[in-house]
């Protein structure tokens, strides 16, 4: 159990972030969830147990004042901050052909996925230094391999991996900073009802994974918890690929 540890999770109202919040609450952490989506946040609050160890706040991770205010509320509510999980993201990588990609769409990806990571680290650092804390950034295997029409998403996630390296060097030895690059994670069970869709399992998708399946939010949550915990005390500045081996397997056209 991690009775006294408080972790701030961005984009925690649904998907992987909600899975992480659920996992941390069930293993004794105090959890602060921030999200831009009020409706999803309300649904998450009613779904999660251990409400005495949960604080939910509406905040846009790309808005510096929102990040400052929500971190201040988190610390004032629980008295300390031990971990930050920057998970919020525009998670759909496909924005269409690069020739038609508008500057505002490009900036929207960068603002949430990458600038949000910077703002969280910048304003959480002073709290985390006091606790010998830990930051986990949600990158993606798309920082490492690409499909067409994903430039903005790929650049934002590649930026997170490089930011993780730099932060680990700057904030050490007080704060450890690591990234996770999930592969294909099926989040259906953890999405708010209005976004839930039937899961499609095409045989090629399963064949692509040496693990024999796509991932779940729990697969990412257990790695996140490990990286936040003292068990990972000698681990910093790394990017952990959690993809069931997908990026290690060559696929040939049939």
Contact (CB, 8 A) for 81 and 75: yes
Nearest to ligand NAD of 45, 131 (CB atom) = 45
Residue 87 sits in the site that holds ligand NAD (CB under 6 A): yes
Quote the tokens at residue 134: 């830990």
Task: Give phi and psi for 5, each to the nearest 5.
Answer: -95, 135
**27, exposed or middle or buried, with CB in 10 Å at 0-12, 13-18, 19+?**
middle
Overall size of the chain counted in residues: 254
Question: How far apart are alpha carbons 88 and 85 in whole angstroms?
Answer: 9
Q: Which of 8, 23, 109, 153 is catalytic?
A: 153
Burial pattern 82-114, b for ≥16 Cβ within 10 A else e, equals: bbbbbbbbbbebebeeeeeeeeeebebbbbbbb
Residue 8 among the catalytic residues: no
Angle between helix 15-26 and helix 38-47 axes, rounded to 10 deg = 30
Site for ligand NAD in 185-224 (CB under 6 A): 185, 187, 191
Selected from 16, 33, 143, 241, the binder of ligand NAD by CB under 6 A is 16
Q: Which is nearer to ligand NAD, 37 or 174 (CB)?
A: 37
Residue number, 35 or 82, with CB nearest to ligand NAD: 35
Residue 160 binds ligand NAD (CB under 6 A) = no
Is 32 a binding residue for ligand NAD by CB under 6 A? The answer is no
Q: Is 120 in the site for ligand NAD (CB under 6 A)?
A: no
Find the part of the chain contacting ligand NAD (CB under 6 A) among 12-20, 21-29, 118-126, 169-177. Answer: 12-20
Span near ligand NAD by CB under 6 A; candidates 11-19, 72-80, 124-132, 169-177: 11-19
Which candidate, 76, 65, 62, 95, places its Cα nearest to that of 32? 76
Number of residues that bind ligand NAD (CB under 6 A): 27
For 92, list phi and psi in degrees, rounded to 5: -85, 115
- The yes or no reply on residue 239 touching ligand NAD (CB under 6 A) is no
**Residues contributing to the site for ligand NAD (CB under 6 A):** 10-11, 13-17, 35-37, 40, 60-62, 87-91, 112, 138, 140, 182, 184-185, 187, 191
Q: Which residues are catalytically annotated?
A: 153
């Amino acid at each position: 159990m991690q009775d006294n540890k408080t972790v701030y999770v961005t984009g925690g109202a649904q998907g992987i972030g909600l899975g992480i919040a659920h996992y941390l609450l069930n293993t004794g952490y105090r959890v602060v969830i921030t999200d831009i989506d009020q409706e999803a946040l309300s649904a998450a609050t009613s779904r999660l147990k251990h409400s005495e160890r949960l604080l939910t706040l509406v905040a846009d991770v790309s808005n510096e004042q929102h990040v400052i205010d929500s971190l201040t509320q988190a610390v004032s509510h629980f008295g300390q901050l031990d971990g930050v999980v920057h998970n919020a993201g525009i998670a759909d990588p496909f924005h269409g052909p690069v020739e038609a990609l508008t500057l505002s769409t490009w900036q929207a990806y960068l603002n949430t996925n990458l600038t949000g990571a910077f703002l969280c680290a910048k304003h959480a650092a002073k709290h985390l230094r006091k606790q010998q804390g830990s930051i986990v950034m949600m990158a993606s295997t798309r920082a490492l391999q690409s499909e067409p029409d994903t430039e903005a998403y790929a650049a934002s996630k590649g930026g997170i991996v490089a930011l993780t390296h730099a932060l680990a060097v700057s904030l050490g030895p007080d704060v450890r900073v690591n990234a996770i690059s999930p592969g294909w994670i099926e989040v259906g069970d953890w999405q708010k009802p209005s976004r839930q869709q039937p899961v499609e399992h095409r045989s090629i998708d399963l064949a692509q994974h040496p693990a024999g399946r796509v991932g779940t939010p729990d697969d990412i949550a257990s790695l996140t918890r490990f990286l936040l915990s003292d068990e990972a005390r000698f681990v910093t500045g790394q990017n952990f690929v959690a993809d069931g081996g997908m990026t290690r397997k060559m696929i040939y056209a049939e």
